[in-house]
Structure formats: structure tokens, C-alpha cells
Amino acid sequence: MKFFILAYKNLKRRKSRSFLTIGGVAVAVAVLVALLGFNAGYQEALTSDVDKMGYQVVVTAKGCPYEAATMILNGEAGLRFIDEDIYNQIISDPDIDKITPLLAQLAYDPGKQGGKGGFTNYLGIEKSYIELKPNVKFKSGGWFSAENANEAILGYEAAESEQKSVGDKISIPDKDITLTIVGIFERTATQEDGAVFLPLKTAQRVFDVEGKLTGIGIKLKQIEKISEFEERLYPIASIQVISMSQVKGTILNLVNSAKILIMSVAFIAIFVAIIGVINTILMSVFERTQEIGIMKAIGASRSDIFKLIWMETLIICTLGGIFGSVIAIFGGNLTELLVRKVMPYAPGGRLLLITPDLLVYSFLGVIIVGIISGLYPAFKAASMRPIEVIRSGE
Amino acid sequence: MREHIVKADKLKKVYSSASQKIIALKEIDIEIKKGEFVTIMGPSGAGKTTFLNLIGCLDRPTSGKLDILGCDPTKFNEEKLSRIRVEEIGFVFEDFFLISFLNALENVQLPLVFARNYKNNNRPRDLLKRVGLSHRLTHFPNELSGGELQRVAVARALANNPEILLADEPTGNLDTKNAQELFSLFRNLNREEGLTIVVATHNVRLGYSADRVIHLNDGKMEKDERLVK
């Protein structure tokens, strides 16, 4: 029998109390790990989303730039229109490397998601769209046969959820048109995986917005030239230029300020957990006054008792750390679901990035917390004098 | 080789609180030799427990000299005192004071843990066998009778093979039969292993079964009887 066993046996005899304390620590650790993991994951997912988008600059109708940016990232429609002329006007700008016109439209489909209903994004695109997006590749099929063809290309998830393959027909609700699927894109892990792509001209015709666009995606030769480029477009009153890196920064800023708030909640949880640990151990020390006195009387030294009580604290914190990490890893999906619901913009891919590093650091953190919170109760116990206990027993 | 295990010289102990001072021991001189079986008798408040606590290194004297196994515990810090306690002294209490969440065997192993003696694994078992409890190894204190509890306590006191066994009213919570048995166990340990034993007791009949009876009264030694057997 060693000290560890002794400490363990003592914790075991007050099962529910020990368990609750461990639970408190576990929750605090889980919250911390999940939040830190979310922070890392969100940043990575957002960066990858923005990079995958291909365009560095988007030209849209004037309005709230962040709303517009979020809509573009989400592949949503609802944007205001700009004239196609503007596209023709800026296409010859010397700083532009690649440019593509976009028309995004949204339609409610009552048959979607097995009858539950839902919105489908329709994106009118031209061939230049693929050139701008290096990661968009065909899984099967190919490009539209003509500029005005009644054909569609499906995003990976759109094809998957509707169980469609090349050659199948689809229709747009409330529109008198049938489209033949000519291609399916591979997964890009962006929001556009769920979209239905149409030739730009077809989209303009079907949605009755001929000569209109919702945005123009642009890749500059040198991103540093963006302010000069922006200045040249300034005279066109009806449009605005949005730089995606700016948008990324702004979204991250928003997320960061939310993060600070959540972090303070996490630290409060940890603080409460520490108090809980100290309270539990201290209580058990006071309850065991006689026992500790007996141990001292039969030869336990100050440092023995200190070690014993300290070890109990460490066991609680270690177990709490282990359970907390497990909860964070397996509860991660739940957190992600929740986060996706409340976030103004949630990028594709996994939001929660729990790395071994993160786990190790959180674990070390909780051990240090355990070491610190065990000090006082252990010191208290070690200072008890055996003689008083023996006397009180008389 | 020194002959005595305990030598007290003008040993005095005063308990002081805010309101009063109680002189528990009034400068007593006692010498206990190796291999002696001594009982200390006297009415309540005579200073028996105080004396045992002092020679058991559980407490410090107010004044006077104390020599335990050639050491002067008054000069020791707490760490060193606990060292002596764990290695050289075995203590048995009136209320048994077993650890409730450990079984009989683990209770006996406990002093070995404090002595960092992880190797000598058979001794606790042997000791429990010696006190007649080899069938009770995994029983917890609440499953044992008073006599059994006290025998576990004796086994625990002997775990680190101490030089001296101190017992403070060990029969106080036992019936006549178990008290008798405990004293015969002491007798045997003293005879067969030469263990020095000091027992404080109220029980006159059992007290006189020892080799030497020291009478304390009001903090002073009244009589020191050596019994010839």
C-alpha cells in the first residue's frame, strides 16, 4: 500500500461527493478545451473558406458591406442587383487578373429535406467562375453545352441530398422550366456545396432579371493594389468594393469579442471549480480531524499528511481533466451544432479543432490548478496536532 | 549498551489555557529499562496519559529532561519526532483509533507506509496471525468486535518493530474476558520478544499482572513496586 492508494481509498469512501467535485472540474476543463478548440478551428475554417472562394475582391451593389460579404460567403441570394454594364466597364481594368460575374438567387422548395422544405441557392455563373476557383473540380460530367442552355451543375451536397446524377432532370419551384444536370462538382467544403449552378444567361432569364448581376468576383494581379483599384471604381455610384481579407478580419474581430466574453465565462467556471475542490478537500480534512491525528500518532509526519491530502486534490483534478477532455472531444459535435446556430457566419469544415497540444496544455493547466488548490487544505491538515485529537477522544 | 529505554528527570508538564493552569506532571523521575513490562496506575487526572504522551513523543514537556532510546526529543523538530514515533514507538489507545476506511490488514500496513517501508510485506499478516486474527484480514473496523479491534491496534503498533509499546487504558472499552486476553498478549510479547511495554490502566487486577507497577497521583509518583514472580 502506498500514499496514492491511501488517497484513492479515502476519495472512494465519499463517492458522490468526490464524483460531483470531479464533475465540476470536468465541466470547467471541457468548456475551456471546447472554447480554445473552437477559437483555433473557427479561424482556420474561416481562412480556408475565404481562400477557397478564389476572389479577393467582390463588387456588389451599395449597402452594408458585411451583410453583403456574409451573404457571398454563404452563397446566399437576397443581394441587390447591379447592372451587367458595370461588369463590362471594369473588365478591362489593368490590375485585374481574373474576373467573373455572379447572379445568386434563392428559391423556396417545399419538397426539400424530405418534405420539410427549405431554400435552395441558385447561382448563375460563367466559365470564368471555374478559373477563379482553383479547388472547384468536376466529380462527374462537365460544363454547360451553351451559354443559354437549360442545364444545371450541382454542388456536391446538393447532388447527394437530392440523389441526383448527371443526366437527371430538376425543376425550379414555381418556375416553368426543367433543367438537365450536366455536371456535379466535387466537395469544396464551402457553402457552395449545397448550391445549384446555372449558366448566367439562363439564370437571368429564369429569375426574370435580365442584364442584372448580384456581384462580381475579382482576383487582382497584386492584392496590394487594392486601394488604387478601389479608387478607380469610386466614381461608379451604385457599387461598392469589398476586400475579402478585410471581411475576414472583421468577422474574426466580431468572433474575438464574443470569444472574450465566453472566455471570461470559462474562467469563472474554472474559478468555481477550484473553489469546489478546495471546499471538498477542506471539508474532508475537518471531518477527518481525528483520523489525521491518529495517523500522526502512529507515525505520520507533517509532510506525510501534506502529501496525502495534496494527492487527493491531484487525483480529483487529474480525473476531472481526463473526463473534461473526453467530454470536450465527444461533445464537440454538439458544441459545433450550437455554435452554427448562433454564429452570424459559420464557415464550412470543422469549427472545433482540438489538437493534442491543446489537450496537453489544458491538462497541465488543470494539474497546476490542482497543485495550487491543494496547498491550503493540505497545509491545514498537516498542522493538526495529534495530542489534541487523542485528548478529545478521552 | 544503555540499559534504559526511557529516562525521565524532573519531568514536568503544565497545560495552560487563558483561564487556568493545570500542572499534570510535577517533576517526576522515572526510568524504564529495556524488556520491562510496566503498568502505570492511578486515579483519573493523575497524569498517566500525560506521561505516556510525553514518552510517546506526542507532546513536549514543560521542563525537565527526557531521554528516549538515547535521544532527547525536546530538541527534536516535528519531523524528527514523527520519525521516532513511526520507527521506535508503538501506540495503543483506549478507543482503538483504527482508520475506518481501511481493512484490518491495511490498518496494520499503514505505519509501514509512513515509514516508507514498502518491502516488508509479510509482517502485517504475521502480526495479525500473532494476535489471532488471520481470519479477519479483509474485515473493516465496523465489522470487528471490541476485542478484535484492540488486537488489530496492537498489531498496528508493532508493524515497524518498535522498541517500546505504549498503551493508554487499552482495556477501557473491553469486557473482562477480552481485557484478560489483551493482557496475556502483552505478557507473551514481553516474554517472547523482549518487548518493552508500558500500560496505563485503572484495572488493578490486570495492572498487577505486570513486572512493575508505578502509582501516580496528582502528577507525582506515589509508589514504584517491582513484583517478584
- The DSSP string of A146-212 is STT-SEEEE-HHHHHHHT--TT-EEE-TTSS-EEEEEEEEPP-SSGGGG-EEEEHHHHHHHTT-TTE
Out of B79, B110, B118, the one facing A301 most closely (by C-beta) is B79
- What are the residues whose beta carbons fall under 8 Å from the beta carbon of A153, sequence distance 6 or more? A141, A143, A144, A181, A182, A183, A184, A185, A196, A197
**Confidence bin at A366 (pLDDT 50/70/90):** confident
> Using the beta-carbon criterion (under 8 Å), do A9 and B118 form an inter-chain contact?
no
Query: Is B77 within 8 Å of chain A by CB?
Result: no
**Confidence bin at A224 (pLDDT 50/70/90):** confident
Amino acid A46: pLDDT: 77
pLDDT 10s digits, A144-194: 888 888 999 998 888 888 888 888 888 888 888 888 999 999 888 777 788
Contact criterion met (CB below 8 Å) for A122 and A195: yes
Residue A393: pLDDT over 60: no
From chain B, the residues in CB contact with A9 under 8 A are 101-102, 106
From chain A, the residues in CB contact with B56 under 8 A are 297
> Using the beta-carbon criterion (under 8 Å), do B114 and A291 form an inter-chain contact?
no
Length of chain B: 229
Query: Is B17 within 8 Å of chain A by CB?
Result: no
Residue A245: pLDDT over 50: yes
From chain A, the residues in CB contact with B53 under 8 A are 387, 390
Helix (H) or strand (E) holding B184: helix B176-193
Amino acid identity of A59? Answer: V
Does the domain formed by B4-226 have CATH 3.40.50.410?
no
Query: Is B24 within 8 Å of chain A by CB?
Result: no
What is the overall mean pLDDT for chain B?
Answer: 90
Mean pLDDT confidence for A334-354: 71
Instruction: Tell me B145's DSSP state.
Output: -
> Using the beta-carbon criterion (under 8 Å), do B101 and A9 form an inter-chain contact?
yes
> Among all chains, which residue has been given the C-alpha cell 443581394?
A79
Q: How far is A296 from chain B (nearest CA, A)?
A: 7
What SS3 state is found at B193? helix
Query: Is B138 within 8 Å of chain A by CB?
Result: no
From chain A, the residues in CB contact with B55 under 8 A are none
Cα–Cα distances (Å) from A341 to A338, A346, A348, in that order, read 5, 9, 13
Q: Look up the ipTM and state it.
A: 0.89
Query: Is B32 within 8 Å of chain A by CB?
Result: no
pLDDT 10s digits, B88-142: 999 999 888 999 899 999 999 999 989 888 776 789 999 999 999 999 999 999 9
pLDDT > 90 in chain B, percent:
66
Q: How far is B51 from chain A (nearest CA, A)?
A: 12
Out of A302, A390, A394, the one facing B58 most closely (by C-beta) is A390
Mean pLDDT confidence for B188-213: 93
Contact criterion met (CB below 8 Å) for B34 and B4: yes
Read off the C-alpha cell for A142.
Answer: 462537365
Amino acid B125: pLDDT: 93
User: Buried b vs exposed e over A115-138: b needs ≥16 C-beta within 10 Å?
Assistant: eeeeebbbbbbbeebbebbeebee
> Using the beta-carbon criterion (under 8 Å), do B157 and A295 form an inter-chain contact?
no
Burial class (CB in 10 A: 0-12, 13-18, 19+), B173: middle
Read off the C-alpha cell for A66.
Answer: 458585411
Amino acid A163: pLDDT: 85
Out of B49, B82, B110, the one facing A301 most closely (by C-beta) is B82
Query: Is A168 within 8 Å of chain B by CB?
Result: no
Query: Is A263 within 8 Å of chain B by CB?
Result: no
Residue of A nearest to B54 (CA): A387
- Domain parsing of chain A, residue ranges: 3-48+258-392, 63-237
Read off the C-alpha cell for B130.
Answer: 500473532
Dist. CA A132–CA A97, nearest whole Å: 9
Residue of B nearest to A290 (CA): B97
- Predicted structure pTM score: 0.71
Residue of A8, A298, A302, A390 to mutate, testing the B interface (most B Cβ within 10 Å of its Cβ)? A298
Out of A291, A296, A299, the one facing B99 most closely (by C-beta) is A291
pLDDT 10s digits, B19-67: 888 898 999 999 999 999 999 999 988 899 999 999 998 888 999 999 9
Number of neighbouring beta carbons within 10 Å of residue B118: 11
Dist. CA A310–CA A305, nearest whole Å: 8
What is the overall mean pLDDT for chain A?
Answer: 83
From chain B, the residues in CB contact with A18 under 8 A are none
Out of B56, B83, B97, the one facing A301 most closely (by C-beta) is B83
Beta pairing class for B63-68 and A96-109: unpaired
Residue of A nearest to B44 (CA): A394
Query: Is A17 within 8 Å of chain B by CB?
Result: no
Helical spans, DSSP H, in chain A: 3-13, 15-53, 65-74, 84-90, 112-115, 128-132, 156-162, 200-206, 226-233, 244-287, 289-297, 302-330, 332-342, 356-382, 386-392
Helix (H) or strand (E) holding B81: helix B78-88
Dist. CA A292–CA A290, nearest whole Å: 5
- Please report the number of interchain residue pairs, chain A to chain B, with beta-carbon separation below 8 angstroms: 83
> Using the beta-carbon criterion (under 8 Å), do A2 and B113 form an inter-chain contact?
yes
Contact criterion met (CB below 8 Å) for A348 and A193: yes
> Using the beta-carbon criterion (under 8 Å), do A301 and B59 form an inter-chain contact?
no
How many Cα atoms are found within 13 Å in the side-chain-facing hemisphere of A257?
A: 5
Amino acid A58: pLDDT: 83
Amino acid A392: pLDDT: 53
Contact criterion met (CB below 8 Å) for A283 and A27: no
C-beta contacts of A310-313 below 8 A and 24+ residues apart: A310/A371, A310/A374, A310/A375, A310/A378, A311/A3, A311/A4, A311/A7, A312/A7, A312/A10, A312/A11, A312/A281, A312/A284, A312/A374, A313/A277, A313/A281, A313/A370, A313/A371, A313/A373, A313/A374, A313/A377, A313/A378
Residue of B nearest to A9 (CA): B101
Query: Is A342 within 8 Å of chain B by CB?
Result: no
Mean pLDDT confidence for A114-139: 83
pLDDT 10s digits, A28-76: 888 888 888 877 777 777 777 777 777 788 888 877 766 766 666 666 6
> Using the beta-carbon criterion (under 8 Å), do A296 and B53 form an inter-chain contact?
no
Read out DSSP for A240-258?
EEEEHHHHHHHHHHHHHHH
From chain B, the residues in CB contact with A6 under 8 A are 102, 110, 113
